[in-house]
Amino acid sequence: MENTKGPETVLVTGGSGFIASYCIIELLKKGYRVKATLRSLNRVADVKQMLSVGGIRDFENLSFVQVDLSQENGWMEAAKGCTYVIHPASPTPNVAAKHEDEFIIPAVNGVLFVLRAAKAAGVKRVVLTSAFGAIGMGTDKKSPYTEEDWSDLTQDMPPYQKSKTLSEKAAWEYIAGEGKGLELAVVNPVGVLGPVLGSDYSHSIQTIHQMLKGALKGVPRIRFVYVDVRDVADLHVKAMINPAANGQRFLATSGNAVTVLDIANMLRAGLGANANKVPAKELPNWLIRAIALFNPKVRLVVPHLGMVKEASHKKASLLLGWQPRSIAEAVLATGQSLIDLGLV
């Protein structure tokens, strides 16, 4: 559905982020005005460069505002004059964070700062970017996960996923209480792939980057679900404007789960000589755990070893007419973009 009422303004938080950048591209292409938040306006040139890689040539409808999720100051001013807010930003602490509260407290507070500001500014609807981490962690389900599922906070889970679960719960609680009248829709992406626009991209792409560089001799035994970032942005905009999306969560996933080895095989089949360094074997779990003792990036993989997670996009497709790309297309677009930008 194209925007026909003239240029409404959308606030997009964390404008330098991977999902946020694609939301901005999608909105500008559809004729909206976009106000993007940044922690520092020193990033404006970087963001414009990424957007131009994504096909944007005209920045007339784009403006920037400096505001930080770690404090409430400035959010009211940022939301002023906006019809909608898309909120992908989530504070990401250092991987060496000593306590889970370093993830959880900023994530929960940040969501509440944005929702309060949106409510005060008379915003119609907020679309919050949550995560599969709020749906399928701490549980072991054989059938595909759906929007009815929530991660089990009584179980041990990585702090980032816990922060996404608690911040999404805080958002729904706010809307049910003092935020009544403000509309909320939530998008829960699985592992996000897709064409990178610069060096700022999702965790899921790190694995493909490392495979293409030849940094991995083998891959971990993990089977997971993925989605293309372009489809994630499209789902955010559909959830923003479709009346049926109010009060709903939407899983953003492109199809059946694949193994990391499947992804490696797709890269080799689709990228030819550029994928010569991509590994062709799985590593045993004990070896990954041993490497993780010395490598903090590998440590993040350990909780997912042996995991099999399936997820369904039936709700987004039926309710909003959302049709995601195939996983193979997302994988190859990711790899090709890393090559094109000289990142491998």
Q: Catalytic residue positions?
A: 164
The secondary element (H helix, E strand) that includes residue 251 is strand 249-252
* DSSP state string for 187-247: EEE-EEES---SS---HHHHHHHHHHHT--SSB---EE-EEEHHHHHHHHHHHHH-GGGTT
What letter would DSSP give residue 325?
P
Rg (CA), the chain: 19
Give residue for tokens 């938040």: 37
Give residue for tokens 């049910």: 176
Instruction: Give the separation between CA 117 and CA 136, rounded to whole angstroms.
Output: 30
Instruction: Give the separation between CA 178 and CA 294, rounded to whole angstroms.
Output: 47
Instruction: Give the separation between CA 216 and CA 213, rounded to whole angstroms.
Output: 8
**By the 8 A CB rule, do 50 and 28 touch?**
no
Going by C-beta distance under 8 Å and a sequence separation of 6 or more, which residues neighbour residue 262? none
**By the 8 A CB rule, do 164 and 133 touch?**
yes
The secondary element (H helix, E strand) that includes residue 86 is strand 84-87
